[in-house]
Amino acid sequence: MGDYVSPPLGLLQLAAVLEAAGIDVDIIDCNASEIGWTALGDTIKQLQPNIIGATATTPFFYEALGVMQVTKKVSPDTVTVLGGPHVTFTSEETLRQHPEVDVIVRGEGEQTLLELVRCHEKGDDVSQVKGVAFRHNREVEQTPPQAPVNVDELPLPAYHLLPMQKYYFTILGKFATILSSRGCPHRCTFCSEWRFWGGKWRPRNPKKVVDEIELLNTKYDRESFWFGDDCFNANAKHIQGICSEIMARGLDISWFYQGRADLVMKHKELLPQMRQSGNLMAQIGVESSTNKELKEFNKDLTVEQVKEAIDLLQKHDIVAQGLQIIGTRRDNADSIAHKVRCMKWLDPAFPIFTMFTPFPGSDVYEEAKANGWLETLDYSLYDMSHAIMPTEHLSRKQLMSLYQWCFMSYYLDPVKIVKGLASRNNWKRRVWRHMLKYTAKQIARSFRQTVLQ
């Protein structure tokens, strides 16, 4: 969807908890500050931290490992810690293969990291800390998990530790990410997030959510807010509380979220208030073009519900973005073409096609691993835009060609182009111009790859 640099919200929350406990902490955001590997090493050497940690999501796992390697090179006595969803579900594999990692924090990190720091200060055994994995006598050990965090007891993220003026998103401008809840009440087979957060949906108090928005808006000049909740629209009272707080404080902002189509319908009476408070877009998980496949995903949703939700959103001048998965086990060229036709019928403002990706921690990953379907364990490719495994009918190379074709077929459709560029919604027009440029780049890249072959 475009170039962006996003605030590392997880690190911000961890830092705030440590600061509240009187512990000195710094955040080095290499992306925002444009710090390369050499400069990172120099910075670590200068700071000489007791503990250094990084977040490991699957496609950026190797970058997180790189931080650990640089640390051990310039400051061998520093304890290196990895956290995040990827290592939560691959802790034994990671510790066996990567000696530069000392400790892994599994699941939510706030209480675990605090206990780990206190343990290090006292010189105690790390086995006393809940929610970690570590090596002991060449074996990997794991301690019992932490209890779920009470999200309303957390301090506001430590935004003062970051260069907030450097964060942006091409189509959102001066933006920030924010969480109004943790977890998800649903159990989609391709998702590992619900398992990472403990399988329960935990909302924050709407007043505290908008306290954070107001701080970002007034102190750091943030104008757009992306709710990174796994399912923002899970509860009507929660949504209404946030909207009411935004309007009561007179905040002139725009905001965006990802949610479920059936819940758009369930809470449809809130759509006018959501739009009035600044909601410009809802990202809806379409996922498939057939009810059979949606059932296999354990999505508990129908294509007809998706259509109804998208129409209703657009009726209230809220841009609907649809996410469609291709490359599922039984996909062939015809079924993928059907998914494109389905998206044209559903008519979201701008769809995003994603490659079926077996993330560690998901049911799909365990199934693929057990059946030998994974053709690569290069985790940098697990980014939803590369084929990781073939289908019953298509090779990974064929899938990649069809993946590019999906974007071209939709965004070069003359009817869709005219409708997008002529929309009365200014933001929608701007996004369509951006997506046309993106599609042109995809075509050029595909052409270059074909020529090189």
For residues 184-212, give the mean pLDDT.
95
Range scoring the smallest mean pLDDT among 131-140, 309-318, 419-428: 419-428
% of the chain with per-residue pLDDT over 70: 97
pLDDT in tens, 7-39: 999 999 999 999 999 999 999 999 999 999 999
> What pLDDT is recorded for position 117?
97
DSSP secondary structure string for all residues of 228-289: --TTGGG-HHHHHHHHHHHHHTT---EEEEEE-HHHHHHTGGGHHHHHHTTEEEEEEEEE-S
pLDDT surpassing 70 at residue 453: no
| Cα gap 401→407, rounded to integer Å | 11
- Binned at pLDDT 50, 70 and 90, residue 173 comes out as confident
Give domain limits for the chain: 7-142, 172-452
How many residues are given for the chain? Answer: 453
pLDDT in tens, 232-290: 999 999 999 999 999 999 999 999 999 999 999 999 999 999 999 999 999 999 999 99
The highest-level CATH class for domain 172-452 is alpha beta
> What pLDDT is recorded for position 452?
58
For residues 65-86, give the mean pLDDT.
97
pLDDT surpassing 80 at residue 87: yes
pLDDT surpassing 70 at residue 214: yes
> What pLDDT is recorded for position 446?
62
pLDDT in tens, 369-425: 999 999 999 999 999 999 999 999 999 999 999 999 999 899 889 999 998 899 888
pLDDT in tens, 405-417: 999 899 889 999 9
For residues 312-334, give the mean pLDDT.
95
Q: Locate tokens 């087979």: which residue?
A: 189
Query: How far from 29 is each of 167, 196, 198, 343, CA to CA, in Å?
Result: 11, 24, 28, 38
| Cα gap 421→115, rounded to integer Å | 54
pLDDT surpassing 90 at residue 155: yes
Q: Are strands 132-136 and 319-326 parallel, antiparallel or unpaired?
A: unpaired
Contacts of 309 (CB under 8 A, 6+ apart): 261, 262, 264, 265, 284, 320
On average, the pLDDT of the chain sits at 94
> What pLDDT is recorded for position 432?
85
pLDDT surpassing 90 at residue 199: no
Q: Provide the angle, in degrees to the nearest 10, between the axes of the packed helices 414-421 and 396-411.
A: 50
- Binned at pLDDT 50, 70 and 90, residue 440 comes out as confident
Q: Are strands 51-55 and 79-83 parallel, antiparallel or unpaired?
A: parallel
pLDDT surpassing 80 at residue 156: yes
pLDDT surpassing 60 at residue 300: yes
pLDDT surpassing 60 at residue 450: no
For residues 433-450, give the mean pLDDT.
72
> What pLDDT is recorded for position 2?
63
- Binned at pLDDT 50, 70 and 90, residue 317 comes out as very high
> What pLDDT is recorded for position 426?
85
Give the single-character DSSP code of 75: -
> What pLDDT is recorded for position 283?
95
pLDDT surpassing 80 at residue 448: no
The highest-level CATH class for domain 7-142 is alpha beta
> What pLDDT is recorded for position 172?
83
pLDDT surpassing 80 at residue 447: no
